[in-house]
Structure 1
Amino acid sequence: MESQVIAEQVVIAGMIVLTGTVGSWAKIITEQIRYAISRLVFNITLPLLIVTTISRMEMSHEVLVNGWWALVFTVVSILLMYGFGKVSSRLFRLPNRSAVVHELHTMFGNIVFLGFPLIAALYPEGESLLYASIYYMVSSFMQWTYAVFRLKGQKDVPVRDRFNNLLNPNTVAFAVGILLFFIQFQLPYLVYQPFRTIGNATSPLALLYIGATLAGTNLKGILKRYDIYVLSFNKLLLIPFVLLLIINFFVKQIGIDFGDMPGTIIVLETAMPCMSMIVIMAKAYGAADDLASENVFFTTVLSLLTLPVVYFLTTAV
């Protein structure tokens, strides 16, 4: 039944993405509108979705234990992606500008614009976004520290520059949501309901943004890049599968108490396509932003096929 749900959600997501693409081709979604959508999602709708979802959860021993192991396996996921990115970039002997993008795109997925909408649709209960947010927090920490460090090079990166971007509306929303969760404070209905309604706009807006972004990608040369095939295979299938095996080993052989749903969420977040924000960061720091754009396009299109496969593996292994 859940396999049918994720298949339906992927089809629905694909249709919204296609709508965004057509809207961009028709000049309805302009560059300015696309930029406005990204800011709206990142600064308003997603933070409200996070805080209204997490704050409504009921505290239990199971949630706390699952949250802890979700954090542990998120770190394992990041380390796996880091290792695979390093090895594959050296395998292809990529020049530094391209190698940095390859490594970072192996590590960082499109959690905000695809991960959260998919998880929210697949698991409507509030608990699911807690685990997705934990993954986001760890990924965001690494993005604004290690990724900036790699893009700028090995020198002249003040500590303040590495950490100032960690304070953003989504991390604040997570902190507020966690605080309300621990003190079990329920937002008044007249506050909760409008905020929740706005937060529910995250999914369609994020998917429209992805579609509009894909519309501007130049397809020429993508299919000739052998490294993009390895990047896609590693990120969308191999690393999630390895992580799934590790989680299953600890759950079944070691006997840790980690639920199926949070485990599936961590694996699905690992299987997200390349992060679009890396394109902007690569351009800002002089890395190969053209290759980064191609990575986002190629892996996003493929993810519409691979995400159902990954989900099926989580139920079969």
Structure 2
Amino acid sequence: MNIAQAIKVTFSNVAIVSSITSTIFIILLGFYLRKRGIFTEKFGKILSKIVLTVALPALAFNSFMQPISNETLSQGMNVLIWGIVIYIILIFLTPLSYVKYPKDKRDVLAVLTTFGSTTFFGIPIVGAVFGPKGIMYSSIFNIGYRIFLYSYAYIKMSGLKMKASNLKKMFVNPVVIATFLGLILWLCQNYVPQVAVKQAVNGVINANAPIVHVAFYRIDQTAIWLYKPMQYLANLASPLAWLSIGSTLGSTSFKEAAANKTSWYYSFNKVILVPLLNLLLLVILSVTNILPVSYIALGTIIIMMATPTAAVASSYAISFDREPVLSSDASFISTIMAVIAMPIWIAFLGVLSQIGIFH
């Protein structure tokens, strides 16, 4: 299949197109509701808290309620390795993009470029495009992200040594707890007592469904009464996150943020160059079979890396008075660029799948 045919097939794919339009339309709805005053600034923050404390933990945990195979285990471990390696690479590489700036500003821009909003912005889009397997890979990928975000980024931005309270933030929050619990259960499912049940698909058991043997804690099969309410909560993650993003954009002055040329340069690096670097390196690693990744694993990583400024990284800049105005402008502009660029990345990934570079 040539590139022209691949593009045609990609844009004929209802799942890809609907994922793109859903993201854009709901973000625009949040923007409109904020501009009209229906959403207040406080309400947007409440939506964010609901997503981070309820919806995303349920989404992360439920994503691990699926069978384990040699392929998914291998891909999961490769994603985990890359999720650590890429942040080490970016820590050393991103400052080179800002050599013309004073050291203080260079350090801040490098940290903001390295760490994106993978949890709040990335995972809901991954879920919409790649489903539970993509969410599972994104949760695994985020392990390395959180290690460096709450250690390196904190030390770099604060100029202080690591605090015990920051270690607590690293491990004791609902998304991290749900991720590690789900990961452990997923890895151990073949080594615990098994039960025979009629196979359920998306929480529904057909009368003619085959009998399957699963771990007793696979609630998607053994306790649908518990899995279903968690699935309802998980389904809130994408629309609420997108409404919150739109509300945030609607509460900021575009004119003031757009006047900062550095924020545009930063946003291009964050939303275009960082995911492009990931793509090129992963192509090389897959072709050489050093660290092969599947199409879903690759797509998940690219979407996660094409996200705007991480809220935590931005809050570090504001809390420690490290270019707070630049950080706020960069966060706003990178969010707008990510909303525009994300559909392009999703479509490009669809083309790659049609060409057959990744499987």
Give the structure-1-normalised TM-score. 0.90
1:116-195 maps to which residues of 2 (within 5 A)? 116-124=123-131, 126-153=132-159, 155=160, 157-166=161-170, 167-181=172-186, 182-183=188-189, 184=215, 185-187=217-219, 188-195=223-230
* Partner residue, 2:99: 90
* Partner residue, 1:105: 112
Structure 2 residue runs without a partner (length 5+): 1-8, 190-214
User: C-alpha separation between the residues in 1 aligned to 2:39 and 2:167?
Assistant: 33
| Count of residues in correspondence between the two structures | 311
**Greater relative contact order, per chain length (Cα 8 Å cut-off, separation 6+):** 1
Higher normalized helix content (fraction of residues): 1
Aligned partners of 2:53 and 2:175 also within 8 Å: yes
Q: SS of 1:27's equivalent? A: coil
Answer with 1 or 2: which has the greater Rg: 2
User: C-alpha separation between the residues in 2 aligned to 1:279 and 1:255?
Assistant: 35
Q: SS of 1:123's equivalent? A: helix
User: C-alpha separation between the residues in 1 aligned to 2:224 and 2:260?
Assistant: 53
1:1-317 maps to which residues of 2 (within 5 A)? 1-2=9-10, 4=13, 5-54=15-64, 56-91=65-100, 93-94=101-102, 96=104, 98-124=105-131, 126-153=132-159, 155=160, 157-166=161-170, 167-181=172-186, 182-183=188-189, 184=215, 185-187=217-219, 188-254=223-289, 256-314=291-349, 315=352
What do you get for the CA RMSD once the two structures are aligned? Answer: 2.1
* The 10-residue stretch of structure 1 (217-226 or 172-181) with the greater mean CA deviation from structure 2: 217-226
* The 10-residue stretch of structure 1 (240-249 or 225-234) with the greater mean CA deviation from structure 2: 225-234
Q: SS of 1:58's equivalent? A: coil
Task: Write out per-residue CA displacement over residues 22-46 of structure 1, whole angstroms, 9 at most, x where no aligned residue.
Answer: 2222222212212211111111111
* The 10-residue stretch of structure 1 (71-80 or 106-115) with the greater mean CA deviation from structure 2: 71-80
Change (3 A) 1:18 1:263: same
Change (3 A) 1:117 1:2: farther
User: C-alpha separation between the residues in 1 aligned to 2:271 and 2:29?
Assistant: 24
Task: Write out per-residue CA displacement over residues 240-272 of structure 1, whole angstroms, 9 at most, x where no aligned residue.
Answer: 222212111121123644212112211221111
Shift of 1:209: 0.9
Give the structure-2-normalised TM-score. 0.80
Shift of 1:137: 1.9
* Partner residue, 2:206: none
One-letter amino acid of the structure 2 residue matched with residue 163 of structure 1: L
Change (3 A) 1:26 1:152: same
User: C-alpha separation between the residues in 2 aligned to 1:169 and 1:228?
Assistant: 32
Structure 1 residue runs without a partner (length 5+): none
* The 10-residue stretch of structure 1 (213-222 or 307-316) with the greater mean CA deviation from structure 2: 307-316
Q: SS of 1:220's equivalent? A: helix
User: C-alpha separation between the residues in 1 aligned to 2:61 and 2:162?
Assistant: 31
Q: Which runs of 4+ in 1 moved over 4 A?
A: 1-4
